[in-house]
Amino acid sequence: MSVLIEQVAEHWQFVSPLLRKPKTEADYDVLVEALDELLDIVGEDEAHPLMGVVDIIGDWVEAYDLEHWPVPEASGVDVLRSLMQEHGLTQSDLPGVGAQSVVSEILSGKRQLNVRQIRWLADYFKVPVDMFI
């Protein structure tokens, strides 16, 4: 047996709970908690020795998320409506989109967002343009 395998066998009982894909929500919760702790340790250091474990656990957590809690597709209007609610804005608070009546028509589906409006909204809310497309 190689030295590497001997070391793995010797320490397996301690690391094995973190090196298994989550099959249940309890498994998932353990991995999320471990990932949070690892990220606190690793910080911004991409060369940190634990970064490989962060990548593995992060991939498994992301895969579990996508499988069990898929993100529903949202239209640009849905995103706008949500951002307005989140920021406590009214239709009159978006002059870069147009007058209140224009914003109302966009929110009701009578009018679509144009390129100029999308660019303004992305800049205003500091989000990518494609959120409104």
- What does the pLDDT look like over 109-127, one tens digit per residue? 999 999 999 999 999 999 9
**pLDDT on residue 1:** 82
d(CA 123, CA 90) in angstroms, rounded, equals 18
Co-location of 50 and 88 in the same domain:
no
**pLDDT on residue 70:** 81
**One-letter identity of residue 68:** H
d(CA 43, CA 59) in angstroms, rounded, equals 17
Co-location of 93 and 54 in the same domain:
no
Domain that holds residue 118: 74-130
**pLDDT on residue 56:** 96
Co-location of 33 and 54 in the same domain:
yes
Co-location of 108 and 84 in the same domain:
yes
Residue 12 lies in a domain: no
Co-location of 62 and 89 in the same domain:
no
The single-letter DSSP state of residue 110 is S
**pLDDT on residue 54:** 95
Co-location of 86 and 42 in the same domain:
no
Q: Look at residues 26, 41, 66 and tell me which one is the last residue of a structural domain.
A: 66
CA atoms within 13 A on the CB side of 111: 15
Residue numbers in the chain where pLDDT is lower than 50: none
Residue 8 lies in a domain: no
**pLDDT on residue 69:** 87
**pLDDT on residue 17:** 87
Residue 108 lies in a domain: yes
d(CA 29, CA 23) in angstroms, rounded, equals 11
Structure tokens at 1: 């047996």
Co-location of 62 and 84 in the same domain:
no
How many domains does one find in the chain?
A: 2
**pLDDT on residue 124:** 96
